[in-house]
Structure 1
Amino acid sequence: MADDDDRLIQEVLAELGRDADPAQIAEQVRRLDRGLPAEDEFIAVCSWLGKTRLIHKLDQHQAPSHSRAVYQVPDLLAMYENSGPVLIEVKSKKTPTLSFRPDYLARLQAYADVLQIPLLIAWKYHGIWTLFEARHLSLAKKNFNIRFDAAMTENLLGILAGDVAYKIAPGAGVHLRFKKEELLASEETVEGLNEQWQMRVDKVGFTSAGGTPADTLDNDVTTLFTTWDLSERQVHSESHIEMQFVAGEDDGMMFGHMALVHLLNWPLRDGEQINWRHAIRRESVVGNLANFTQALQRALSMSVQN
């Protein structure tokens, strides 16, 4: 990361000048270090899903200046296992319709036409990524639009990058048993007796579909539990408290690219946000689950996902 930090500082000094206020320089370095979250997140998603041969940003400081009237350089260039090079324009919008001005889309398409490379649009809407060909944008009154449901219908993220939908089997989960060692405090409340105990974990177990004990699950499969919003239940006895974290019946489905967000958020402190720029510069985007597809295949064979 040191060489990358040096490049950031050099870039800021080139923009602001060496006589700029140090506080302004520091703030600009911090801003650049946070990166362009949507672009960096999409690169991380593609890198992690497993079918990307190459993906990188395109420098958009184009020259000469009058070329901007004709061409717009897209955000990314990518090559997937089953594709040649493609150009990708990245958008993150919270409205259910994505819109492009005709002149902006024409400049993007002009650049793609010169290189004879397909132009794709990557769109993040409420945490869900879609990737579709720009030709699916249709002219409305003024702009070229696409609704999210149509983008999902034309989504290429699974075909190209390897995205999948999966579901943790109902009843599968993590079970922690705590042995009560010392009663620290006891208080009567309107809801009943509230006790505070000093405890230690004396058993960790796992279950597969239907709550069947499955204590031989490997690390990658158990890591999948951190990608799911498991329901919590406590079972109390005189000597122990068992905390059960299991998948429910009606939890729906999850996309692989959304699981990545859960995995990266897992070790963060409250209020801390994912730095996508740092994530894409690591050797592995996620250190504790390098091959998501293989983990899902093993989880399926062990009745942990369906």
Structure 2
Amino acid sequence: MGHIDDDDRLIQEVLTELGRDADPKEIAEKVRRLDLGLPAEDELTAICSWLGRARLVHKLDQMQAPLKSRDTYQVPDLLAQFENTGPLLIEVKSKTKQTLSFTPNYLDRLNAYAKLVNMPLLIAWKHHGIWVLFEARHLTKARKNFNIRFGDAVRENLLGILAGDLAYKIAPGAGVRFRCRKEELLMLDENNGTITEQWQMRIDKVDFTVADGKPAEGLDPDVTTLFTTWDLAERQSHSDAHIELQFVAGDDDGMMFGHMALTHLLNWTLPQGSAINWRHAIRRDAVVRNMANFSQALERALEQKVVRLILHQQPQSWPDFIPRASLPFRPSSQMPYQHRLAKTQEKQ
């Protein structure tokens, strides 16, 4: 059988789903939507690929025969293998409600397929841009359906110990500075005591700062790229000859997850208003071209005092299929949850 181009496969997939007699406009719209990477499984595949510990992630063909098999089995969205696991199954959901819900019949069919192929069943849930990955066994029976609240899913999150996700905090005062030399005053306006000036300027110096705003020298390129993952605050200072623009991390800024940093890195290279095409991202040799290795960049940023701390999350209930010895940090089963959630590496 000859090679089939990925675009051909996309068209073939849509025709299989809708049928060759479907409205051409409907077919074209379906192809367009899939090409935009709207399915959440494309985004999760890109995240797992970029974080660095995935050996294989691919979609499962969900066309089943005979039709009666659908009464017993539901094929999950993805098959994956990570550095510290055998093959496992992932069902992907994108829901904004605080509770994720599965009907008993749907969950039974997913579990039946997982038992048939003897693989663990995981649920990936995207909730307002935050991804969690947990074992299906953590879904609990409510009155009718099997549910899990987002907070409980976070406590059982496996995205870190499987794919290598982590959280980090940019050091307060770290950022980038631009010194702009004033060349020509283009406009001067005074209104109600407020003076507005418009200058033609030329950037004549760019440098970086680390913790507490101290000047930095020799930062790794991947370390400086981390600034594009953070919402830095703008500060300005003026002199007769220059305007200095500073974009720095604040004292009260929160944490950033690695998988959310990927979204920032991809958006940085897109025209304003454009959407990330996740499907195209996973077709490239590298999901992100401007950062070679995310985890190594964070470690270097920690050493160079650009990142203040790194957090490695472990789940509250340890899965049987993941050996603890395979992790880059030592899991703890003795500490209370709020401390066990993360291992902090901090250098002053």
Is the TM value for this pair above 0.5? yes
Cα distance in 1 between the residues matched to 2:95 and 2:261:
20
**Aligned residue number for residue 137 of structure 2:** 135
**Per-residue displacement from partner, 1:36-88 (whole Å, max 9, x unpaired)?**
43111100110011111111100111111000000000000000000111100
**Per-residue displacement from partner, 1:127-159 (whole Å, max 9, x unpaired)?**
111111000010010010111111111111100
Deviation (angstroms), 1:92: 0.8
Cα distance in 2 between the residues matched to 1:94 and 1:269:
27
Query: Residues 282 and 17 (structure 1 numbering): CA distance in 2 closer, same or farther, change over 3 Å?
Result: same
Match of 2:42 among 17, 22, 40: 40
Cα distance in 2 between the residues matched to 1:140 and 1:17:
38
**Aligned residue number for residue 314 of structure 2:** none
Three-state SS of the structure 1 residue aligned to 2:283 is: coil
**Aligned residue number for residue 248 of structure 1:** 250
Match of 2:208 among 202, 206, 215: 206
TM-score (norm 2): 0.84
Match of 1:120 among 119, 122, 128: 122
Cα distance in 2 between the residues matched to 1:141 and 1:285:
43
| Deviating more after overlay: 11-20 vs 52-61 | 11-20
**Aligned residue number for residue 104 of structure 2:** 102
Cα distance in 2 between the residues matched to 1:21 and 1:136:
42
TM-score (norm 1): 0.95
**Per-residue displacement from partner, 1:258-300 (whole Å, max 9, x unpaired)?**
1001011112222211111111111100010121000001000
Say if 2:208 and 2:215, in contact at 8 Å, map to a contact too.
Answer: yes
Say if 2:93 and 2:126, in contact at 8 Å, map to a contact too.
Answer: yes
1:222 partner amino acid: T
**Aligned residue number for residue 162 of structure 1:** 164
Three-state SS of the structure 1 residue aligned to 2:307 is: coil
Deviation (angstroms), 1:216: 1.4
Deviation (angstroms), 1:14: 5.5
Q: Map 1:120-269 onto structure 2 (within 5 A).
A: 120-190=122-192, 192-269=194-271
Cα distance in 1 between the residues matched to 2:48 and 2:265:
15
Number of aligned residue pairs: give it. Answer: 305
1:69 partner amino acid: D
Deviation (angstroms), 1:96: 0.9
Query: Residues 148 and 19 (structure 1 numbering): CA distance in 2 closer, same or farther, change over 3 Å?
Result: closer
Q: Percent identity?
A: 71
* CA RMSD, 1 decimal: 1.6
**Residue 302, structure 1, aligned to residue 301, structure 2:** no
Cα distance in 1 between the residues matched to 2:140 and 2:306:
42
Can you give the 5+ residue segments of structure 1 that lack an aligned partner in the other structure?
none
Match of 2:292 among 266, 290, 294: 290
Say if 2:37 and 2:43, in contact at 8 Å, map to a contact too.
Answer: no
